[in-house]
Structures are given as structure tokens and as C-alpha cells.
Structure 1
Amino acid sequence: MGILLQVAQAATAAPEKISLMSLLSKGGWIMYPLYLLLVATIFVFFERLIAIRKASRIESNFMSIIRDNIMSGNITGARNLARNTDNAVARMIDKGLQRIGKPIDAIEKSMENVGKLEMYKMERNLSVLSLVAGIAPMFGFLGTIVGMIQLFYDINSTGNFELSVIAGGIYVKMITSGTGLIIGLIAYVLHNFLSTQVDKTANKMEGASAEFIDILQEPTR
């Protein structure tokens, strides 16, 4: 009867409003590593986003100008254009221009090596987002488990089995789990978004490489 009376009183009582910051502050010390993981996620995302966009930015007429210079025999002009264009495609094309005169297979291999290096540069630090997506929920669960152990230890020590005490303790300890899951989800989504941008840039590089090889073979047709 006592427990039923407490439940009825809790149902009729007006819920206490609490701000988000106040709620998060109740999560305990484990929230600080979670905050650091969130900051690392945001920093890595914007740093990689800027780098990937810079690497993928290419003028629509870039390959047309390269083709015109090659067909007119102005290899120096083509190289100057490639060197003065700061993106992954231009650096790969510049390597191909340096190898003009060698067998096509050797040119393709040189450009492929540059392409791999550019891919590595774009994918650098993306593993941080993958790591955060994996460990943030674990940190959250760890905080909840530690908090629940402390809660039940206190209940056992004090003998206070009031429903309000138990419910209040449990919802506070679940804060870390919820925060960890949210941060992990954010990191997972951002990681996949950046991976998609890298794949799009890789497709541009493959297309430019194929077009460049095709340009080199045009005079011999």
C-alpha cells in the first residue's frame, strides 16, 4: 500500500522542470570524457570537410585546357596550369605530364601512385570519427554501470528503498548512456558523410585519369 500511495502521489504531483545543462551536469565525472569526444568529433569533421572540399574543387574546363595544350604541343603550359591548380586531380595530372614520352602503362602507374597518396591525405583522421562512434557509447554505458553500482550500494547501506530515491537515481545514471549514444551516432553519421565525399573525389580522379590517358592516345589514332 505504501508503494502504491507513493506512485499515486508522484503521478499527481507537478513534474519539476529541469534545463538541459542541469540535466547533463548530473551525469558525473564520466561526462567530461564524453565532452572531449564530442569536441574531437566536431573538430575532425570540419578540418576534414575543408581539406576534402579543397582537394575535390576543380574547374569544369580544366581538362579541356589540358587537352588543348597537349594537342598543340604546349606541354609546359599544361604543366604550369596543373602546378598552379591546388587540388588532387591537378596533382595527378601533373605527374602524368611529367611522364609524357614513356609507355602508357608507366604513366598510368605513376598517376595511380599519386592518386593513392591523395586518397590517403583525404582519409587521414577519418578513423578518429570511427573510433568515437565506437567508444562513446561504451563510455556512456560505463558511466551508467558505475552509477548504478553506487546507487544500489547507497540503498543497501542506508536501507532507503523509497521509489522516488530509486527512480531519481536511475534516471540520473542513464544520462551518460544517452549522451554516449548521441555522440556515437553523430560521429557515425559524420564519418559516413565524409567517406561519401572522399568517394566522390575518387570518382573525379578516376575520370580525369582516364580522360588524360585518352588524350595522350589521340594523336596516334
Structure 2
Amino acid sequence: MKKRILNIFMIAAVAVVMVNCKDKAKEANTSEAEAAAVNESTTQKYVTDVTKSTIEWKGFKPTGTHNGTVNIDTGVFQVDGGNIQSGTFLIDMTSIVSLDLEEGKMKTNLENHLKGTVEGKEGDFFNVTQFPTGAFEVTGVSDEGGKTMLSGNLTLKGVKQNITFPVSVANVGDELTITSDAFTIDRTKWGVNYGSKTVFDNLGDKFISDEIELKINVVAYKKA
């Protein structure tokens, strides 16, 4: 009887992990940092509207997921004929919030843990006291099978890696919008190692997936 109950729990645990894995978006192509794109003399400058721009995130663990947002800070893009030539934006890592938890101790504890501001655990996750700002700089734009692919150097915790992911770009009047498809990154490639079973042994079912799902939403306006 005990063996049967144990088998049921094992099957349930595997099922949860499989469901969580199926929910993940495709991982972005990741490589070493590259030279930033250079704009042409004919480009038009667009400045990021920080009140309308954000990054949605989702984290996975065997017992479920957490999701939230982090704010995009100042950014500038150079556009020529509706096409992105170059661009950069900063990421305010101190603005990490969870949206799946109600206001209270659990929400506060999770957000502080992700920020790495819990006393004695400052190195956990993103350690925003030491690394309050992340960054993204465009290195290129390409077309793959009719889909626009945006490549750029993503900097987190002082580590810079190049990633490529699909985006939709619209340039109407004075407004530029860049909306990515949901994609994942392997956080350990940026030294975000807390709870990673590929980094630490004997975590059992207390591990947290290496993959973080991101969805980037940028709104920028033409600068005279």
C-alpha cells in the first residue's frame, strides 16, 4: 500500500514538471556578446516611454510558476524607413514585482528574494544592491521565414550575452512599438544560479528551473 502511494506521488510530481515544461516558450538563441549596431545618418531617433514599456517575466518550479514584471528604464532607438537600425534601453532591476501573489508577506518575501535584498542572502538571484541596472543593446535585425528576429546584448548582474528572439515592430506616425514573442533564457548563463540543479547537487524537488520566460514590450516616440 505504501509503495502504491509513493508511486502515485512520484507520477504526480513528474506530471507537474511535464506540464510546467510544456508551458515554457522557446529558448532564445544565446551566444557571446557582439558589437552594437551602428545607425545610419538618415535615421530618426525614438525615445522610450518608460510609463508604457515593460518586461513580463515568468519563473518555473516543480510546484508551479510565478510571474510578474520589471520596468524598462531610459532607452533610445534609431529607425530608418520603419526599420530598427540600432538601439539601447536600461532595465530597472529594483522594480521587480510579482503579479501572481496578493499583497502580503509572501509577495514581499518573493520580491525581496528575487532582488537579492534579504539580509544574508544578497547574492541570491539578481543582487540588485550591487547590480541595480540591466541593459539591452541592439546588435542586429534579421528576417527568418518571414519573422523579424531581434538580436542584442543582454546584460544582467554584470554579465553580457547576446540573444536573438522574434519580435513584431510597428512604426506608425510618431510612435514605435516593439513587442517580442514570449521566449526563455537560461539564467545561469548570467550567473543567476540560485536553486539551479545544474549548478547545485542534492536539491531534490526544491530546485527552480534554469529557464526564465520573458516578453519585452517597448513603446517609444519620435524625438524632434
Q: TM (normalized to structure 2)?
A: 0.29
1 or 2, which has the higher helix percentage?
1
Tell which has more relative contact order, 1 or 2 (C-alpha 8 A, sep 6+): 1
1 or 2, which has the higher strand percentage?
2
Greater radius of gyration (CA): 1
